[in-house]
Amino acid sequence: MAKKAPRRTAERILEVTLDLFNRFGEPNVSTTLISAELGISPGNLYYHYPAKDELINALFDRYERALSELLNAADGVRDVEDAWFFMHTLFELIWQYRFLYRDLNDLLSKNRRLETHFQWVLKNKTRAVRALLDGMSRAGSVSIDSRELEPTATSMVVVLTYWLSYEYVRDPRRALEPESAQAALLRGAHHVLNLLVPYLEHGQRMHLLGLVSAYSSPGPQEP
């Protein structure tokens, strides 16, 4: 059996950096720690990424590409089950790059590129949620007045963007640990879709309750 080719150093650096940022928070991870975790010299790290911001930007670029591809799937959402799957998949991607959301305000305050590009993220999340609502409306799954569509879409994007911050505040020691991931993602998807309850057709509302019961697992009690 042929041996797998060794991963390129630049890719390994990003993978290890992402893991460290997610575990400890970007402000608490130095390039010295990253190089030590990789077992390479700081000079080797600087050869590939001369500054910490370049590591952050490279990880954000990966996230942005994956997000753009995923948000296109919103056009195909027609009912609660489609919406549940879409939201859960979106939360999984956010979890994969959770350092961005955990340290969002700090990152935006010191990284001009992220400051401008995160505006794109918000706009495209909002566009995708609008497409989701439009598709569900055309399919008869929701009945929502056009005047309520925009504020509802904005509220859904706010919950999407700040859900992990909320989880962290309510349980700082465990919320962003891997063993907490599944419950956190399910709670996030539930709360985003719960904003649609007043507009859901009765059968769809019952279906949403069934999905929550089927997939949700016990977590920390809501405050």
94-130, pLDDT tens digit by residue? 999 999 988 788 889 999 889 889 999 999 999 999 9
pLDDT value at residue 220: 46
pLDDT in tens, 52-62: 999 999 999 99
Domain ranges of the chain: 1-50, 59-215
Q: Which residue carries 């997000």 as its tokens?
A: 67
Of the options 1.10.10.60, 1.10.10.10, 3.10.20.600, 3.40.50.620, the CATH number for the domain spanning 1-50 = 1.10.10.60
- Least confident window among 136-145, 149-158, 159-168: 159-168
pTM of the model: 0.87
CB 164 within 8 A of CB 93: no
Domain 59-215 falls in which CATH fold? Tetracycline Repressor; domain 2 (1.10.357)
CB 113 within 8 A of CB 57: yes
pLDDT band for position 216 (cuts 50, 70, 90) = low
Average pLDDT over residues 8-12: 91
- DSSP class of residue 220 equals S
Per the prediction, the chain carries an average pLDDT of 89
Bridge partners, residue 200, by sequence: 142
pLDDT in tens, 13-51: 999 999 999 999 899 999 999 999 999 999 999 999 999
pLDDT band for position 221 (cuts 50, 70, 90) = very low
SS3 assignment, position 200: strand
Q: Using N-to-C axis directions, what is the helix angle for 80-96 and 146-170, rounded to 10°?
A: 40
pLDDT in tens, 66-83: 999 999 999 999 999 999
Q: What distance in Å separates the CA atoms of residue 166 and residue 152, rounded to the nearest whole number?
A: 19
Give phi and psi for 200, each to the nearest 5.
-75, 140
